[in-house]
Amino acid sequence: MLGAPGAGKGTQADIIAAKYEIPHISTGDIFRANLKEGTELGKKAQVYMDRGDLVPDELTVEMLLDRVAKDDCKKGYVLDGFPRNIPQAEVLDKELSAHHDAVDYCINVDVPDENIVTRMSGRRSCPKCGAIYHIVHIKPDKEGICDKCGTALTQREDDREETVRKRLAVYHEQTAPLIDYYEKKGLLRTVDGTRDMKKVTEQIFSILKD
């Protein structure tokens, strides 16, 4: 799954995984699992993290391959958040090929930056019960107050406009080149992420039937 932060690719990955009964795999989940379980791969990653260094692509891919080798991945899996750049994609392709596996589709959930800024910067959340609102699309009954528990709503740091724009800038510099990378391989399928969520899902399912 490919798309800018806030494009909705994680939500769609969850839906795909549920429909086809396959795992939704993110590198964040893999890292947390390996660190928590104290695996050899987790210990290797911890050394880099303790130094404040990025975990090398090869080690990240090694963790990923270890995860997709498990029985629940025999029917397939959805990758979300990896690869993040072309060097990672190249390592992934090489290692998957060595294990007689390959990426079948790269689904790009396309949403213009301004839509994402409006979408994310308008979000408000309840610090007490966790309810999510939006100043345009999901307004609380009383402005700035949670309907469920009456607590004042807040804006997460990640949802502030300047933070969203910084994340988008990083995405365009590092991850967006993957669109061209997978297009050249004939694997790219782009869906309009500005449409209703169910319409986006329908479009993705029609692609996966091909």
**Rounded Cα–Cα distance for residues 22 and 76 (Å):** 6
CB 69 within 8 A of CB 63: no
- Residues annotated catalytic, as ranges: 9, 84, 123, 156, 167
- On the question of pLDDT at 158 being above 90, the answer is no
The mean per-residue pLDDT over the stretch 56-70 comes to 90
DSSP code per residue over 20-40: HT--EEEHHHHHHHHHHHT-H
76-88 residue pLDDT tens? 999 998 998 999 9
2-32 residue pLDDT tens? 999 989 999 999 999 999 999 999 988 898 8
* Phi, psi (degrees; rounded to nearest 5) at 39: -70, 165
Give me the chain's average pLDDT, please: 93
Structural domains of the chain ordered from first start? 9-208 (3.40.50.300)
Alpha-carbon distances, residue 20 vs 26, 72, 77, 86, 101 (angstroms): 17, 12, 9, 28, 18
The mean per-residue pLDDT over the stretch 159-163 comes to 92
Model confidence band, residue 53 (pLDDT cutoffs 50, 70, 90): confident
The mean per-residue pLDDT over the stretch 190-207 comes to 95
* Residues linked to residue 133 through DSSP beta bridges, in sequence order: 124
- On the question of pLDDT at 209 being above 90, the answer is no
